[in-house]
Amino acid sequence: MNISNHMKLSFPSISTNEGFSRAAICAFILPLNPTVAEVADIKTAVSEAVTNAIVHAYPKEPGTVYIDAKITDDRRVIIKIRDTGIGIEDVQQAMEPLFTTSTDERAGLGFAVMQSFSDRVRVRSAVGKGTTVTLEKIIHSAYDEE
């Protein structure tokens, strides 16, 4: 599997950057001619992961959120959303639908949405070191570009 394109972003964990990260990912995958539904899926999954980092990773003061996105030559999009924040004690529990530690009207559906809107979701986390969420999705071609 060869990487045909690659980009990296980093930004402070402030909520205005949720929209920025969606727009950036959207622009990055556009050369693959994704369908409207595929764009919506990736934007939604990225928005959930970035929002999680912004809401949970840095409770005291804003830290940095890193995005590393790759496109492979078999049209797979691999997006890593990483923080160096407090980490998640129990990843399995955090991924359960409706589980939330937030009191701010969060639905607790973040990971459920990521799982339903991507082909694959991996979460690695260490307490005190941070969390990396990896989202993968194949963009099917509307036209055969051979």
Partner 1 sequence: MVDLTYSNGALTARLYGEIDHHIAPRIRSEIDMKCESLRPAVLILDFKAVSFMDSSGIGLIMGRYRCITLLGGRMEVVNIPPTLAKIFTLSGIESLGVMK
Stretch that binds partner 1, among 58-66, 88-96, 106-114, 118-126 (CB under 8 A): 106-114
Out of 48, 82, 120, 122, pick the active-site residue: 48
What is the Cα–Cα distance from 131 to 136, expressed in whole angstroms?
17
28 contacts partner 1 (rule: CB under 8 A): no
Residue 4: φ, ψ to 5°: -100, -20
Judged by CB under 8 A, the number of residues near partner 1 is 26
Cβ(61)–Cβ(84) below 8 Å: no
Active site residue 106: yes
Nearest to 67 by CA among 56, 81, 88: 81
CA angle 100, 102, 103 (to 5 degrees): 120
83 contacts partner 1 (rule: CB under 8 A): no
| Single-letter residue type at 86 | I
Nearer to partner 1, 51 or 125 (CB): 51
Binder to partner 1 among 29, 32, 54, 57 (CB under 8 A)?
54
Binding site for partner 1 (CB under 8 A): 15-16, 18-19, 22, 36-37, 40-41, 43-44, 47-48, 51, 54-55, 104-107, 109-110, 112-113, 116-117
